[in-house]
Amino acid sequence: RRIYYYPTTGSTNEEAKKIAGEGALHGSLVIAEEQTGGKGRMGRVWISPPRVGIWMSIILRPGIQPYEAPRITMTGAVAAAKAIRERTGVTCHIKWPNDILVEGRKVAGILTEMSADMDGINYVVMGIGINVNNEDFPGELKEIATSLKLARGEAVDRLDILTGFLSRFEDCYNYLEAGEFKKILEEWRLLSCNLGRRVRVVGKNFAVEGIALDVDDDGALLVKSESGQVERILSGDVSLKA
Ligand code: BTN
């Protein structure tokens, strides 16, 4: 397995999918100083200016079923939250499904893409963006995004965050492959800022308001709505209510 390093690229996820399609090994890493077409969830843009963040994608060939792929994203979120806490002392939380927040603002996000067919998963590309030393954000992002530097008040060593993340991810990923996802889920619950709180979830064709009860093995969020019914939500955007 190799590390593919780019001073600049469109999107490390796009690059990783290409390389994975050409046979790159499990555990290969694509990392860039800058992305000119960084992608977020739900078709959004991920602002990735040069040399201030960690913009990278990991190519995985996991021995799990396609429906279990959200577990990889949750594993990435746990590893990122732990690495940030350990290496900076900054308190961060996971907001379902996979955002890392500091004081209510987003500091990191994960975008997982997969290629699968009837035989199962070909590859998974787990892309992660961590705002490390960004000093400002454009337009409306000002209100909702932050960086580790802004949170801590001093610059943070990107390499330290990167190595911290990779070693945590390797530990957590081994649990996943060993059939011990329950352990990751336990950590996810402890690091989350959703559970037990009133949330509003907006998806493609729905909006639900209620109490976030739990996440299940498939990474779905369980929300108890006003009517007492428990909704199982697989994809959407969560906002926390007072
Ligand atoms: C999100 O929270 O919306 C997900 C953001 C994921 C951003 C990372 S940066 C590296 C990788 N390449 C991309 O184009 N996106 C992911």
Q: Where are the domains of the chain?
A: 3-191, 198-240
- At 240 the pLDDT is 87
| Ligand 1 binding pocket mutation candidate from 11, 18, 39, 130 (most atoms within 8 A of CB) | 39
Mean predicted confidence (pLDDT) in 19-37: 98
174 is in an annotated binding site: no
36 is in an annotated binding site: no
Residues 6+ apart with CB under 8 A from 34: 7, 8, 9, 48, 49, 50, 51, 55
The overall pTM is greater than 0.90: yes
Is residue 18 over pLDDT 80?
yes
The pLDDT-based confidence of 233 (bands split at 50, 70, 90) is very high
SS3 149: helix
> Which of the following CATH numbers is that of domain 198-240: 3.90.226.30, 2.30.30.100, 3.30.565.10, 2.30.110.10?
2.30.30.100
Question: From CA 12, how far away is CA 50, in angstroms rounded?
Answer: 13
- Closest to 50 in 3D by CA, of 116, 117, 135, 121: 135
Q: According to the CATH classification, is domain 3-191 in 3.80.30.20? A: no
Question: From CA 109, how far away is CA 127, in angstroms rounded?
Answer: 8
Distance from the CA of 179 to the center of ligand 1, in angstroms? Answer: 27
By the 8 A CB rule, do 129 and 158 touch?
no
Is residue 242 over pLDDT 90?
no
Question: Does the C-beta of 128 come closer than 6 Å to ligand 1?
Answer: yes
Question: Same fold for the domain at 3-191 and the one at 198-240?
Answer: no
Q: Show the tokens assigned to 52.
A: 């201030």
Question: From CA 158, how far away is CA 230, in angstroms rounded?
Answer: 41
Question: From CA 177, how far away is CA 180, in angstroms rounded?
Answer: 7
Question: Does the C-beta of 38 come closer than 6 Å to ligand 1?
Answer: yes
Distance from the CA of 34 to the center of ligand 1, in angstroms? Answer: 12
Left (φ > 0), alpha (ψ -120 to 50) or beta: where does 212 sit?
A: beta
106 is in an annotated binding site: yes
| Atom number of ligand 1 nearest to Cα 48 | 9
Q: Show the tokens assigned to 177.
A: 């492959």
Residue located nearest, by CA, to atom 7 of ligand 1: 129
Q: State which H helix or E strand residue 171 sits in.
A: helix 158-177
Question: Does the C-beta of 39 come closer than 6 Å to ligand 1?
Answer: yes
Q: Show the tokens assigned to 161.
A: 């965050």
Is residue 1 over pLDDT 90?
no
Q: For the segment 162-218, what is each residue's pLDDT rounded down to a tens digit?
A: 999 999 999 999 999 999 999 999 999 999 999 999 999 999 899 999 999 999 988
Q: What is the DSSP letter of 145?
A: B
35 is in an annotated binding site: yes
Distance from the CA of 4 to the center of ligand 1, in angstroms? Answer: 17
Residues 6+ apart with CB under 8 A from 9: 15, 30, 32, 34, 35, 36
The pLDDT-based confidence of 75 (bands split at 50, 70, 90) is very high
ipTM over 0.90: yes
Q: What percent of the chain has pLDDT over 70?
A: 100
Question: Does the C-beta of 149 come closer than 6 Å to ligand 1?
Answer: no
